[in-house]
A and B are shown apart, each in its own frame.
Chain A
Amino acid sequence: KAGVTQTPRYLIKTRGQQVTLSCSPISGHRSVSWYQQTPGQGLQFLFEYFSETQRNKGNFPGRFSGRQFSNSRSEMNVSTLELGDSALYLCASSLPRDRGTDTQYFGPGTRLTVL
Chain B
Amino acid sequence: KNQVEQSPQSLIILEGKNCTLQCNYTVSPFSNLRWYKQDTGRGPVSLTIMTFSENTKSNGRYTATLDADTKQSSLHITASQLSDSASYICVVTGLNAGNMLTFGGGTRLMVKP
Contacts and interface: CB of A to CB of B under 8 A. Distances in A.
A64 interface: no
A92 B104 contact: no
Given A104-B46, A108-B42, A43 B103 contact: yes
Contact of A42 (B34, B51, B105): B105
A45 B101 contact: yes
B51 A99 contact: yes
Given A42-B104, A42-B105, A101-B51, A106 B99 contact: no
B100 A106 contact: no
B45 interface: yes
B46 to A, nearest CB: 5
A48 B101 CA distance: 10
Interface residues of B, number: 23
Interface string B82-93: 000000010101
B32 A100 contact: yes
Contact of A100 (B42, B45, B46, B99): B99
Of the listed residues A42, A55, A107, the one surrounded by the most CB atoms of chain B closer than 10 A to its CB is: A42
B49 to A, nearest CB: 6
Q: Which bracket fits the contact residues of A?
A: 20 to 34
B43 A4 contact: yes
Nearest to B52: A99
Chain A binding surface, main DSSP class:
strand
A109 interface: yes
B60 interface: no
B51 A106 contact: no
A56 B99 CA distance: 8
Contacts of B49: 101, 103
B100 A45 contact: yes
Interface of A: 4, 33, 42-45, 48, 55-58, 90, 92, 97, 99-101, 103-109
18 contacts: A33-B101, A42-B103, A42-B104, A45-B100, A55-B98, A58-B100, A90-B43, A90-B44, A99-B31, A99-B51, A99-B99, A100-B31, A100-B101, A101-B32, A103-B49, A104-B34, A108-B42, A109-B42
